[in-house]
Chain A
Amino acid sequence: MIATALTDLWHGFGVALEPHNLWWCFVGVLVGNMVGVLPGMGPLATISILLPLTFGMKPVGAILMLAGVMYGAQYGGAICSILLNLPCHPPHAVTCLDGFPMTKQGRGGVALGLTVFASFVGASWGITEMIFLSPLLVKAALQFGPAEVCSLMLLGLLAGSTLARGSPLKGVAMTVLGLFLGSVGTDLETGSERYTFGMTELDDGIELIALALGLFDIAEFMSSVNQIAPINTKYTNVRLSDMRPSKADFKKAFFPMWRGTIVGSLCSLIPGTGPTIASFVAYATEKKISKHPEKFGTGLIEGVVCPEASTHSSVQGDFIPTMSLGIPGDAVMALLLGALMIQGIVPGPQLISQHPDIFWGLVASFWIGNILLVLLNVPLIGVWVKMLAIPYRFLYPSALFFVCIGVYAANNDFFQVGEVVVIGAFGYVLLRLGFHPAPILLGFVLGPRFEENFRRAMLIARGDMTVFVTRPISAVFVALCVILIGTQIYVRMRGSKSVVPDVTDHGGPSPPISPELQPQRIPVTPAE
């Protein structure tokens, strides 16, 4: 068991070290690190923009690059939080609490240095978990019939929409909307057109790229434009020599780092709880078991490394259900899965055995990518810090061009550029009404497969709906769904706050003008 995993991993390193794959992995983490640093761009927005560019690439290179953007952004986001006190990216919001005070004391470099180290530890743990857990999950999942797949998807969708930030009810509404949007176009089984209103361009359904770019780019730009304050670069003067932690710092950070890692990996096992929740839970745990909890918030290194390690461990862990079951936990994973589907690869438990190159190459590239990120972040810290100063007024028009040309290039069709405008405007309305558009993508990507499996399950069971509760594995999933909903209702009745406080502004981007002037911003992306 372990031996086969290691041989496969060896094979994976072979794939990931092929020059062109290595190159795309490097491009991915570089771009990821960059957008992580830039206030106003998130990994979701960036992956959407890069998605059309991957059409011409081989599947392995494409997925390596897009995944690189995802975890690369986590490294960059930490820089933003620690040096600027800007929670540009939700998972790093709690890092601000102790990271920025450290910066003010002139110890920002140390915080960054240890963060990079803790991130690497967390990520390595997550990857190891992925290597050994995924094959086990696949073994179980191969026994699944359509009924089981259906209830598992239901569980994934429910978890993804209710455990994320914001109102669970609104999350479910967005998931249902996403499922519906996934059904637009020609019906796979009967060939009849649905909701196309006579537009032949809609026969193939709504374009995933148009949906992602509209919801995560256009709508984001609309809520961030003219809202981003010029950045205070007073503390951003960090040099490489500042990053070396002293022995005492390292000692203090060692155990919190591991605790954070464990918390993160546990969180990643629960579907729907992304890195944001992991980092909050890790910080809260660390504070609780600390001997001096009152000092948290004044610049403790423990308060920096623990959530960062947790974030990274959970980001890597999130790939487990996505890759082994084909059930994404959040919008970023849904987008990556969509990228695979565009390449003609069917996600699901058969992915690892049918496309070992992709799975093991990806796992190996995580390690290579994380090493690259450490190399990129430590000596080049000065460059990243300078990038913080790029004004948003240059950023968003350029990004809009990438949006337009990207959608166009997907099918060489201007109709879809128009689609983006409509979806973007609608997405902004949803944002203002307090909806998080991320679950839409989750529903959209899973929708067609859900419908297909549902139909098949009903056909096999001769239209008997009880099949979902009479088959044991399916019954477990359904029971979990019921527990999930029950807990939500219970929590709501008790009137307590959700797990994650809404400290951050929305999604990736846009630090508010000033915390006092800014009313509560709507968080968009639950778990980037």
Chain B
Amino acid sequence: MRPSSLIGSLVRKRDFYAGGLMILLGLGIALKGATYRSGTLMHMGPGFLPTALGVILILIGIAIGAAALAPSDGQHDESILPPNPQWWAWFCILMSPVAFIVFGRFLGMAPGTFACVFVAALGDRSATWLSTIVLSTVVTVFGVSLFSYFLQVPMPIFTWGGGL
């Protein structure tokens, strides 16, 4: 590592962000927790334990961040992003439950299932329209019969405009 790029190397350190995230989380937890009544040790209020946990998290975060200041041995993967980021696939995976919520809520279980599997399957690099549609149809038929008929999940198969 070139000594001149100390700051540059700091930014690339994963643990630096890891510690930072923990400090932020801890800070949030502790500050919010301080608004609840903390009580005494003998009669603890609802805010006591969460606030304490928040403070511990801040301390651990500082420790993780401080450990990241040590020079890197260059062996570990210090980048935050994986070598080939899959933005599209990640988006599809996160959107798949959202599609399930939207379509399931307003159109029913069958459209919800279809949309959920369809959106998720689009994330795969080798997916084609045909394979995606076939997979979604198969899962929908199987899923609806399993969950609606066999397990009796109370969700209409088809509905219009949110009958729930």
Contact = CB atoms under 8 A, between A and B. Distances in A.
A402 B123 CA distance: 17
Contacts of A408: 100, 104, 153, 155
B81 A183 contact: no
A176 B60 contact: yes
Nearest to B105: A414
B14 A409 contact: no
A397 interface: yes
A225 B53 contact: no
A351 interface: no
B108 interface: no
Interface string B12-44: 001101100110010001001100110011111
A412 B155 contact: yes
Interface string B116-150: 11101101111100010001100100010001000
B139 A434 contact: no
A173 B120 contact: no
A24 interface: no
A463 B40 contact: yes
Given A400-B97, A465-B41, A176 B56 contact: yes
Contacts of B100: 401, 404-405, 408, 417
Contact of A458 (B44, B77, B96, B135): B44
Interface string B75-88: 01100111110100
B10 interface: no
A454 B14 contact: no
Contacts of A180: 29, 50, 53-54, 57
A240 interface: no
A414 B50 contact: no
Nearest to A455: B44
B49 A451 contact: yes
A408 B67 CA distance: 42
Contacts, number: 184
Contacts of B1: none
Contact of A397 (B14, B82, B117, B153): B117
Contacts of A226: 84, 86, 89, 123-125
B79 to A, nearest CB: 8
Interface stretch (A13-21, A140-148, A190-198, A231-239): A190-198
A221 interface: yes
Residue of A179, A180, A428 ringed by the most chain B CB atoms within 10 A = A180
B93 interface: yes
A169 interface: yes
Given A177-B57, A432-B82, A433-B14, A463 B41 contact: yes
Contacts of B89: 222, 225-226
A463 B105 CA distance: 50
Interface string A432-455: 111100000000000000010011
A169 B46 contact: no
A433 B105 contact: no
Contacts of A517: 83
B77 A520 contact: yes
Contact of A177 (B17, B25, B67): B25
A398 interface: yes
Residue of A397, A400, A520 ringed by the most chain B CB atoms within 10 A = A397
Contacts of B43: 459
B111 interface: no
Given A393-B127, A404-B97, A458-B41, A409 B153 contact: yes
B15 A434 contact: yes
Nearest to B140: A401
Contacts of B82: 223, 227, 432
* B interface secondary structure, majority: helix
B98 interface: yes
Nearest to A520: B77
A433 B37 CA distance: 34
Interface stretch (A30-38, A104-112, A371-379, A419-427): A419-427
A414 B96 CA distance: 13
A405 B50 contact: no
A398 B54 contact: no
A394 to B, nearest CB: 6
B153 A404 contact: no
A398 B117 contact: yes
B90 interface: yes
B95 to A, nearest CB: 9
Nearest to B61: A173
A519 B86 contact: no
Contact of A405 (B22, B29, B147): B147
A267 interface: no
Contacts of B84: 226
A362 interface: no
A428 B101 contact: no
B15 to A, nearest CB: 7
Contacts of A501: none
B135 A398 contact: yes
Interface in A138-187: 167, 169-170, 172-173, 176-177, 179-180, 183, 187
B94 A424 contact: yes
A515 interface: no
Contacts of B42: 458-459, 462-463
A173 B60 contact: yes
A429 to B, nearest CB: 8
A409 B121 CA distance: 23
Given A393-B121, A434-B18, 11 more contacts: A187-B46, A192-B37, A194-B36, A225-B86, A398-B135, A401-B139, A404-B100, A418-B101, A434-B14, A463-B41, A517-B83
The 3 closest A-B pairs by CB, nearest first: A463-B42, A463-B41, A397-B120
Interface of A: 53, 56, 167, 169-170, 172-173, 176-177, 179-180, 183, 187, 189-190, 192, 194-195, 218, 221-223, 225-227, 392-394, 396-398, 400-405, 408-409, 412, 414, 417-418, 420-421, 424-425, 428-429, 432-435, 451, 454-455, 458-459, 462-465, 517-520
9 contacts: A53-B151, A169-B64, A221-B93, A397-B117, A398-B139, A405-B100, A412-B155, A432-B14, A458-B42
